[in-house]
């Protein structure tokens, strides 16, 4: 579909290039990003400036940025249809983040659970960037005046903060400039959990590789990880309500439901009364079927960094056109002189 037929609302989302992209990123985010391309003008960003809020080895960061872009492409982002770039190429992200750091209140940032989780007990030693992280995220979105942001459940609080910043900016300066930002959190896998512990989020930083399915895992690795995934000793129930106190079972059934694009009820109906062994076999087959093409494309793109770089360069040029315009308007609203 050409741009002319699309709703003029903009979609923005991003992911950090901090290691292995995994099934949680794919089901919670990338897959939904792909679906939105048909109806909206979409901007997808590898947020390398967010990544450096904790130290990254410079050489690895470069490779991981390309790998994250490869994951977006392999999942089905069309770089002609949508804009795909890495954040640091468009300096207005940092400029607007500073202005938002002056709009946001300390009290708002103090409430952010992700900061508390990531900083842990050692808050005093966390970087200022990690603390201010959500102001940069608000800048990412509002620089493009995007009104829809497809993310997994874990980003909801950051998007509420983005709404607060937009509202306060508009109030403080007496303008109706930034739009309302709507989180788009859809599907049955908005919070994919670790395969080793159904109460912990599947994450890039979990030291156990068996806790997640990486988008670079081959068929054998996917099969091995599902086989070893933690379960309980009960058979599968005939309805999703019965999964309430069975986090591992709920997680695997949710993953199945999301990959197969069917409801939780339907998955329970299909496997009711069976043990985990046949269910895991079916899940492995499904996961390999759905993820195989993504994995293979990622492997191919990894061998062609020149192509990935050209996509990011082109995307940054297109993003810059919008970003420069917004930043000039924001500076005028705020009263920053540009003689």
Size of the site for ligand TYM (CB under 6 A): 25
DSSP one-letter code for 155: G
Q: Distances from the Cα of 172 to the Cαs of 93, 100, 135, 139, 334, in angstroms?
A: 21, 12, 17, 17, 10
Q: Does 25 bind ligand TYM (CB under 6 A)?
A: yes
- In the complex, the smallest distance separating the C-beta of residue 136 from ligand TYM, rounded to whole angstroms, is 7
Query: x/- string (CB under 6 A) for ligand TYM, residues 199-218?
Result: --xx----------------
Q: Which of residues 138-177 bind ligand TYM (CB under 6 A)?
A: 140-141, 149, 151-152, 154-155, 158
- d(CA 37, CA 27) in angstroms, rounded, equals 16
| Nearer Cβ to ligand TYM (149/223) | 149
Query: Which of these is catalytic: 156, 168, 200, 204?
Result: 204
- In the complex, the smallest distance separating the C-beta of residue 55 from ligand TYM, rounded to whole angstroms, is 16
In this structure, are residues 166 and 178 in contact, taking their beta carbons and an 8 Å threshold?
Answer: yes
- d(CA 334, CA 245) in angstroms, rounded, equals 52
Choose one: 13-21, 236-244, 276-284, 320-328; the region binding ligand TYM (CB under 6 A). Answer: 13-21
Instruction: At 161, list the tokens.
Output: 């903060």
By CB under 6 A, name the one of 35, 167, 168, 191 that touches ligand TYM: 191
Q: Does 53 bind ligand TYM (CB under 6 A)?
A: no
Q: Which of residues 58-97 bind ligand TYM (CB under 6 A)?
A: none
By CB under 6 A, name the one of 10, 11, 20, 28 that touches ligand TYM: 28
Choose one: 20-28, 240-248, 270-278, 305-313; the region binding ligand TYM (CB under 6 A). Answer: 20-28
Query: Residue 126's CB: how many other CB atoms inside 10 A?
Result: 16
- In the complex, the smallest distance separating the C-beta of residue 137 from ligand TYM, rounded to whole angstroms, is 4
Could you confirm whether 116 is annotated as catalytic? no
Query: Residue 220's CB: how many other CB atoms inside 10 A?
Result: 9
- d(CA 107, CA 71) in angstroms, rounded, equals 36
Could you confirm whether 156 is annotated as catalytic? no
In a 3-state reduction of DSSP, which class is residue 66? helix
Instruction: At 213, list the tokens.
Output: 């399915």
| Nearer Cβ to ligand TYM (209/270) | 209
45 membership: H or E segment, kind and range: strand 40-46
- In the complex, the smallest distance separating the C-beta of residue 165 from ligand TYM, rounded to whole angstroms, is 12
- d(CA 87, CA 62) in angstroms, rounded, equals 13
Could you confirm whether 302 is annotated as catalytic? no
> Over the Cα atoms of the chain, what is R_g?
21
Question: Which residues fall within 8 angstroms of residue 39, CB to CB, at 6 or more apart?
Answer: 1, 6, 7
Which amino acids are annotated catalytic?
118, 201, 204
**Site of interaction with ligand TYM (CB under 6 A):** 12-16, 24-25, 28-29, 47, 50, 137, 140-141, 149, 151-152, 154-155, 158, 190-192, 201-202
């Amino acid at each position: 579909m050409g741009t002319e037929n699309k709703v003029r609302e903009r979609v923005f989302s991003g992911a950090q290039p901090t290691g292995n992209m995994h099934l949680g990123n794919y089901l919670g985010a990338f897959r939904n990003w792909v679906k939105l391309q048909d109806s909206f003008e979409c901007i997808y960003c590898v947020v390398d400036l967010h990544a450096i809020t904790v130290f990254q080895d410079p050489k690895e960061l470069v490779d991981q940025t390309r790998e994250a872009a490869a994951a977006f492409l392999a999942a089905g982002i069309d770089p002609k249809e949508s804009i795909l770039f890495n954040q640091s190429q468009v300096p207005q992200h940092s400029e607007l983040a500073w202005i938002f750091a002056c709009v946001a209140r300390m009290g708002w940032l103090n409430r952010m659970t992700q900061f508390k989780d990531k900083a842990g007990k050692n808050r005093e030693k966390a970087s200022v960037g990690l603390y201010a992280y959500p102001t940069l995220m608000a800048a990412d979105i509002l620089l493009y005046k995007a009104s829809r942001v497809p993310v997994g459940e874990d980003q909801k609080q950051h998007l509420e903060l983005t709404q607060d910043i937009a509202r306060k900016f508009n109030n403080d300066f007496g303008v109706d400039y930034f739009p309302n930002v709507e989180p788009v959190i859809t599907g049955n896998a908005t919070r994919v959990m670790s395969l080793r512990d159904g109460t912990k989020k599947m994450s890039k930083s979990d030291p156990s590789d068996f806790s997640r399915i990486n988008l670079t895992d081959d068929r054998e690795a996917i099969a091995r990880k599902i086989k070893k995934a933690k379960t309980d000793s009960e058979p599968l129930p005939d309805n999703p309500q019965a999964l309430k106190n069975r986090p591992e079972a709920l997680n695997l059934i949710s993953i199945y439901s999301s990959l197969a694009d069917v409801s939780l009820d339907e998955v329970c109906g299909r496997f009711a009364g069976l043990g985990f062994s046949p269910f895991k076999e079916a899940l492995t087959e499904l996961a390999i079927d759905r993820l195989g093409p993504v994995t293979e494309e990622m492997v191919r793109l990894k061998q062609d960094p020149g192509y990935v770089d050209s996509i990011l360069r082109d995307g940054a040029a297109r993003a810059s056109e919008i970003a420069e315009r917004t930043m000039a308007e924001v500076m005028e609203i705020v009263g920053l002189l540009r003689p």
